Structure 1
Amino acid sequence: MLLIFFPHIVCKHHTIKCRIRYPHPPFHQYHQPGELVIGVIASQTLIISSSATLRGEPQPVFEELTVVTKNYQHILALAFAVKEINENPQILPNATLGFHIYESYFNAKWAYYATIQVTSTPERFIPNYKCDSQSNLLTVITGLNFQTYLHVATLLDLYKIPQLIYGPSPVMNDKTPGLPFYQMVPNEILQYVGIRSLLLHFRWMWIGVLTRDNETGERFVQATLPLFSQSGICFAFIEKVPKTNVVSDVGGLLQRGARIYDQIFGSQANVILVYGESYFMTNLLWFPYLPEILNVTSRIQGKVWIFTAQMEFSSFTFQRTWDIDLFHGALSFSLHSRDPPGFHQYLQSISPSRIAGDGFILDFWQQAFGCVFPNTGMDKEDFCIGKENLESLPWSAFEMSMTGHSYCMYNAAHAIAHAFHTMSSSRLTQGTTTDRGKPKLQNQFLWQFHPFLRSVSFNNSAGDEVSFDHTGQLVARFDISNWIISPNQSVHKIKIGMMDPQVPLDQALIINKDSVIWHHWFNQIPPLSLCNDHCYPGYSKKMKEGEPSCCYDCALCPEGKISNQEDMNDCFKCTDNYYPNEARDLCIPRNISFLSYEEPLGISLAFSALSLSVITGLVLQTFMKHHNTPIVKANNQNLTYTLLISLLLCFLSALLFIGQPEKWTCLLRQTAFGIVFSVAVSCVLAKTIMVVLAFTATKPGSRMRKWVGTRLATSIVLSCSLIQAGICISWLATSPPFPDTDYHSVTEEIILQCNEGSITMFYSVLSYMGFLSIVSFIITFLARKLPDSFNEAKFITFSMLVFGSVWLSFVPTHMSTKGKHMVTVEVFSILSSSAGLLGCIFFPKCYIIVLKPELNKREQLIRRNN
């Protein structure tokens, strides 16, 4: 790249004679001689001018210099660091360090001019020429005007001069590869992640953003918007404040400020994130006064202001007495800083008469103390005596403690000195020669300085380690401070946390939220900043169409699901061992449920089963005791005993259904009951058939006489029972029942049950018993009018009606009940159907045997038959 500068050529009209006018010398510069020189392009002064016009007679352009007085400490920090280095024989024993400081006026044009000045011979402005061989420019330190970083770096790259930046510089993140620059601030990503972590820590999801209307503000929005959106943080608004240094534009700027004021204080967002240059605070100080100046509709209210590390609490001279209570409780990210030993005393010794060659101090002194020096020609009552005390200045005008930017400037000077000391001591240095013991740096070998500067590592006098990472950025932390505004409008910064760069980013935020002092508006309660109220536990977020993700409705969790935190995106099911409460915000442990012997229902059913078993045993005993009586003989003794024994086993099999299901009980309960009950129904069927055959065989000439006997009854019982046994064996062989846990049937309970394995086989067993019952019912119904003295058809018919009614009602009831009540229905069906057979068939006979023995005679049976 070839860069050529032409001087200003002025020619008179109608003449060929021209004279050359060189550019105006810098208004502000500060030189301290030394064999090694640090160039500095500072940012302290703004040029406020009137707008030029091309209409009518030319009018002079009014210009006024406005000093950001707080930034003067940056220059003093560099001077103090150079003083420390020159007084320390361990750092540069054979050389003195000096500096050339020029002002950039927060302007790209003046920054270019300052860059040419710093690379040229002092007092002799000849671009691209250096006539002074006594001073060697090592590096250039640039400051807070981040719009010119990249341009200055491109210019310095021509000479391979390293550039150190002492303010945050996001623009340089997209630099051209190879540009020699180093950042004396932590990585900007650390600050972005820190802001996000801070917002999430206080659950501020709906925020406003205020930036400068320039490329850097746009970059900030582009970097943070997707980062914050990933965490559910939304921007309620993004307002951009235009920058102007022209007096005639102030009216339009105030109008724009009024619109921004309405947006900020009319929004539900209680948190405002502010990103701008170091003096951006001077724009915000107008907010409390805009309602008086312009027609502003919104009423001012407390907000939580979050300021980025670029900004400092600074004010112009005419703003010193303005009300700043609006920013009470603000949170700010700031560059980490400490006071080096002796710095406070150094500031106390500063006065215009004691600093030679400082072209910044007079304007600073006049605007900081609101006075003028007698020899300036300005008409003002208050004259500066030069002995004013810096400690008397308000915090917004000047700080006696080293600020973050000043600390970066201080560390930059020490890093340069340590790096050059290392290079001078290295045997590999080929670009450094000596002249009578003094260092002489040749420009063509200046590029060798970069590796030593990049790898520099030391502890400064304040005790902090100074080193760069692989990207050329300082390894340091951001501090988080809380701004406290006193009733007298003084400001105090209280450190409440930091961003630690040595840990993963998601764990880097360290904050003591209990020490935060909030704005009076919030009554010392951490404020909310949401688009709408929280969705409380039991509800989930329901997105609004066309709205940001932070704006949503709240929907009650569906049945079976809960939400136990605020603002959950979706409800979830409890684990199997828990169930939702009525409010659907908590999972309650489920009770384990099964038909137990320890509960009243289980005790009642067990007692009923045992009682019926005892009754059946007594009936069997009665029949066996009176086995020679006609009424017992007339009804086939063997079938009677078999039926009573099977009914006894049916009652006892009901006990298998009570208690916690085990593997063996699950295998036996259905199969044992199915086989035993089939035997009982088979006996009833056999008795019915035998009654019919017995009546038919008594008729003269009947051929059915040969079928009457015990062999037929035994064959019926065995064949019918073996078919059921075969079904049960197939069931056990293919898909046997097993203990299981049901989590779904009853919400509040975990049901311990027997899984039938194959529902088809289960209902096959029941269907077969039903088939036997239907056949028996049909036969007994046809034989119901036979003489009572020869058969019990009407009793069997009634018992089959009871049996059928019970099991027909069992099927729908069993399918509609859940949990242990399903087992209860089955036990009740077993007991009631078995009791129906016992009562309908045997109780009338027991009545005759026990209470009417006179009727239990052959003569009585024959007489009744006739």
Structure 2
Amino acid sequence: MVEIKKMCYRYISPHTYNFLAFVFAVEEINNNSELLPNITLGLHIKDSFRYTRKIIESALNILAGQSTIVNFKCNSFRTVAAIIEGFTDEETYGFYNMFQIYHYPQVSYSSQNLYMSDPVQYPYFYRTVPNELHLSIGIGKLLKYFGWKWVSIFSNDDESSMRAIQILKEGIEQNGGCIALHQTFPHQRRIKNFELQKIVRASKKSSTVNIYYFNKNAVFSLDNVLDLQKNVKSGQVFIIIAEVEIIKKNQKHFQISNKFFIFKPYKKVMPNFFKFIREMKPIRLRSDYQAKDWWNVLCDSSCPNHIKRDCNSKVKTEGEGHCFNTHFGSSYSVYNAVYVVAHALHNMIMSGSGNSTTWIRENRELLYSLPWKNGLGEEMYLDENGDLATGYNILNLIFLPNMTLKYEVVGHYNPHAPPGQDFTIDENVIVWESSFTQLKEDLNSDFIHIVDMDTCITCPDDQWSNQKRDACIPKVITFLSFEEPLGIALTSISMFFFLITAVILGIFIYYGNTPIVRANNQQLSYILLISLILCFLCSLLFIGHPEDVTCILRQTTFGITFSIALSSVLAKTITVVTAFQATKPRSKLHKWMGSRVSNSIVLSCSLIQTVLCLVWLCTAPPFAFLNMRSEIGTILIECNEGSVIAFYCVLGYLGFLAGISFIIAFLARNLPDSFNEAKYITFSMLVVCNVWISFIPTYLSTKGKYTVAVEIFAILASSTGLLGCIFIPKCYIILLRPERNNKKDLRKI
């Protein structure tokens, strides 16, 4: 009786070669009398279109026995032997976590996720490609071999790639190299055009090597490669992990420089596989609406002989796609994945493990047994992590004089080889770009060494590299100075309002005996004007070369001075409310109407702020700080606030005073008679509150000297708000409408 074993594979139209390699391997094994005798392998094929929902739905259908089996008639109740998949790193990880409860071996022919090389945590996971750890180490060995130390890296932002890049960076730095930049891009979608332009701009700044660490399971088109190379300077090397799609029919339109090294998992040409494609009856799935066109392309008379089908077709197709392409997907890894499962099943049966495909621990260990051979006669085995013991080919993309392109294998990296033999490079077959002309040849060994490549050292913190990146030069020292336009503008504004406030104080002193000045506590008006004068002068402390003394005086002087101003406003507001209540019959508030009460409010409120500032100075005072990392190529001299908590406590207390004043003034804004100043205080506090609420997010989002400018603007705006809302209306009456400066008219204002 023929027993049917089933394996799962996901089919996507652009990856038809993978699908065909799967079918080819199954038929080759079924025709092999030594491997699985009297056993016929069957297969389930499901297309997921890269939708997670479809992946899960397809897997469940297969496991439940509700799947279509191509070219085979089999009993749907038979147990699934293994799941072979070509998911991305993240999809493989998610799929395993969801379906590990079924204990089916999951064999990946594409995922290089380095986190899954753990037989304890992932006992049912295997793969026929090396894991990503070996890829990063191999790239590091290539850099070390040629002495390339100035490197730019562009990578996806998925977890496995980021970890591999971290390992690569650590290896580069240990070998004395340095990373010019590392730029990441979203991994869940194709790189957009503006992102590609970002890569180009960044590549122009690099000296030696650009590493493109993305598209592990995809290909670069020749158009993309051409765009990259024509926008960067000569003398650069590109290391990529995605194959370049060479379409032989039209490649004469391209002029690719010989500067590309490509790391790809080891693979071998399978002549019988191409013969199988040429001679087989076309296979297509129900949902594969493009299959007919795909097969017709192979009938084109201009299609290369190794892949061309004899279809007796008179139809001329646009044979510019897969017919002329040298990229056959992951077909070799798919082929090996089928053989992995077939040999494991064979060993289970031969070892007497039973007529069952239940993967108990003993059965799983069969996958780590003696080496086995695939249909090409290659001897292979899985290592202790469940990874195929294989490595990477290092390819050189060569642009030939006849204007055609080809790949040349110039080296290998096999982490499973003995030490000293794991990394090999044949420099004689490398074709370099014409700009790499300075070669030093050792006549005794015929050994070629490139001596015109850049090396790099790390510049001190107070220096950075020049434009040619061949020397360290001092960074530009910057701070908000009095001489630059921004400093001049802020200084001018500060001095202008300082003079305006001083003039208003003089006016109030000169007209001190008039009703409008004496109303609402004359002394408080003087205290408020003097504190505003000091606030405008305080803003000048923020401009100029920061020193420890000025850093201390900046925040504390302004904090105390502005708290006096807000305390004066609060005392004025309370005075208005108290005075109105005192006019009521039998009121006991007459004794609270003196200047002593209002002065006490100012003193006590400002004293609290003074204590906060003293605590700040005693615990973690502000200090001058050389910020060498805020802006590229500059040293920013700025004030470090010392204690951020103390800084925000001082600002928070000012906000508290402003808020209390606003609430009381708002409630008292419609009081009758001469107590109408509450209306102006309400507007002034509204301005102050809006300014400082806007200040915090703006302060946190700016950098460098513009952070200082934001705080100066907040000081000037809030001080000007107090000055304009409270005193300008009174100055208008004093100077322009003196006839209204009397008790009778004052009640109507």
Give the TM-score of the pair, scaled to structure 2: 0.52
1:269 alignment partner in structure 2: 208
Q: Which residue of 2 aligns with 1:417?
A: 342
**Contact (CA 8 Å) 2:105, 2:125: kept in 1 or not?**
yes
Matches within 5 A, 1:487-498: 490-498=404-412
**Which of 286, 290, 308 matches 2:224?**
286
Q: How far did residue 254 of structure 1 move?
A: 1.7
CA distance in 2, matches of 1:523, 1:396: 37
Q: Distance in 1 between matches of 2:465 and 2:376?
A: 46
Change (3 A) 1:371 1:133: closer
Gaps of 5+ in 1: 1-32, 46-66, 126-130, 374-383, 433-440, 534-540, 556-866
Three-state SS of the structure 2 residue aligned to 1:150 is: helix
Cα distance per residue 1:227-267 (max 9 Å; x no partner): 22111222222222335659xxx8xx222222221111342
Match of 1:522, SS state, is coil
The aligned counterpart of 2:92 is 149
The one-letter code of the counterpart of 2:397 is W
Give deviations 1:375-420, integer Å, cap 9, x for gaps: xxxxxxxxx98788999766796338x76x3222111111211111
Aligned with residue 304 of structure 1, among 228, 233, 237? 237
In structure 2, relative to structure 1, the CA distance for the partners of 1:500 and 1:356 (3 Å cut) is closer
Conserved 8 A contact 2:7-2:80? yes
Q: Which amino acid is 1:136 matched to?
A: T
Within 1, Cα distance between the matches of 2:420 and 2:169? Answer: 17
2: distance between equivalents of 1:409 and 1:341? 15
Aligned ranges 1:1-400 → 2 under 5 Å: 35-42=4-11, 44-45=12-13, 67=14, 71-123=15-67, 132-133=75-76, 135-173=78-116, 177-242=121-186, 253-282=192-221, 285-286=223-224, 288=226, 301=234, 303-308=236-241, 311-314=242-245, 325-326=255-256, 328-340=258-270, 342-350=272-280, 354-358=281-285, 363=290, 366=293, 398-399=325-326
8 Å CA contact 1:161, 1:446 repeated in 2: no
Residue pair 1:185, 1:474 contacting (<8 A) in 2 also: yes
Give SS of 2:244's match.
coil
- Note if contact 1:211-1:276 (Cα within 8 Å) is conserved in structure 2: no
Structure 1: distance between partners of 2:243 and 2:108: 17
1:451 CA drift (Å)? 2.1
Distance 1:399 1:259, change over 3 A: closer
Which amino acid is the alignment partner of residue 10 of structure 2?
Answer: I
Per the alignment, do residues 343 and 419 of structure 1 end up closer, same or farther by CA in structure 2, a change over 3 Å counting?
same
Distance in 2 between residues matched to 1:509 and 1:134, nearest whole Å: 48
Shift in alpha-carbon separation, 1:110–1:229, aligned structure 2, 3 A: farther
Range 177-186 or range 325-334, more displaced: 325-334
1:170: Cα distance to partner?
2.0
What fraction of aligned residue pairs are identical, expressed as a percent?
Answer: 22
1:508-527 matches, within 5 Å, as 508-523=422-437
Q: CA deviation at 1:516?
A: 0.2
Deviations 1:648-680 (A, max 9, x none): xxxxxxxxxxxxxxxxxxxxxxxxxxxxxxxxx
Q: CA separation in 2, counterparts of 1:302 and 1:132?
A: 62
- SS of the aligned residue for 2:37 comes to coil
> What residue in structure 2 maps to residue 544 of structure 1?
460
Aligned-partner SS, 1:342: helix
Query: For 1:359 and 1:487, how far apart are their aligned partners in 2?
Result: 46
Shift of 1:178: 4.0
CA contact (8 A) 1:479 1:497 kept: yes
Report the counterpart of residue 693 of structure 1 in structure 2. none
The SS at the match of 2:98 is helix
Structure 1 position 139, deviation (Å): 0.6
Q: Is the 8 A contact 1:144 1:277 kept in 2?
A: no
Cα separation, 2, equivalents of 1:304 and 1:395: 28
Give the deviation of 1:524 after TM superposition: 8.8
Alignment counterpart, residue 453 of structure 1, candidates 359, 364, 367: 367
Q: How many angstroms does 1:87 deviate by?
A: 0.4
Q: Which amino acid aligns with 1:347?
A: I
Q: Quote the Cα distance in structure 2 between the aligned partners of 1:202 and 1:388.
A: 51
Alpha-carbon distance in 1 for matches of 2:52, 2:132:
23
The within-5 A match list for 1:466-615 is 466-486=380-400, 490-504=404-418, 507-523=421-437, 543-545=459-461
Question: For the residues of structure 2 that align with 1:257 and 1:179, how far apart are their CA atoms?
Answer: 39
Q: In 2, are the aligned partners of 1:207 and 1:529 still within 8 Å (CA)?
A: no
Letter aligned with residue 286 of structure 1 = N
Match of 1:496, as an amino acid?
A: V
Cα deviation for residue 300 of structure 1 reads 5.8
Q: State the secondary structure of the residue aligned to 2:84.
A: strand
Contact map agreement 2:203 2:232 (CA 8 A) in 1: no
SS in 2 for 1:325: coil
CA gap 1:93/1:518 in 2 versus in 1, 3 angstroms = same
Provide the C-alpha distance between the structure 1 equivalents of 2:212 and 2:206, rounded to a whole number of angstroms: 14
- Relative to structure 1, is the Cα distance of residues 169 and 390 closer, same or farther in structure 2, using a 3 angstrom cutoff? farther
| C-alpha distance in structure 1 between counterparts of 2:178 and 2:92, whole Å | 31
Distance 1:395 1:494, change over 3 A: farther
What is the CA deviation profile of residues 154-194 of structure 1, one whole-angstrom value per residue up to 9, with x for unaligned ones?
22311100011112422543767144111212343333222
RMSD across aligned positions (CA): 4.3
Alignment correspondent of 1:779: none
Measure the CA separation in 2 of the matches of 1:549 and 1:218: 27
Gaps of 5+ in 2: 301-310, 440-448, 474-749
Q: One-letter code of the match for 1:426?
A: S
**Distance between the aligned counterparts of 2:223 and 2:3, measured in 1?**
42
Residues 477 and 501, structure 1, Cα contact 8 Å, conserved in 2: yes
Tell me the alpha carbon deviations over residues 258-277 of structure 1, each in whole angstroms, 9 at most, x when there is no partner: 22211113422344343333
Inter-partner Cα distance in structure 2 for 1:117 and 1:231: 52
State the 1:543 CA deviation: 4.7
Q: Deviations over 1:73-113 (max 9, x none)?
A: 22222211111101011111122112112234344343333
Kindly provide the CA deviation profile for residues 196-249 of structure 1, in whole angstroms up to 9, marking residues without a partner as x.
111111111112212224334323322211122111222222222335659xxx
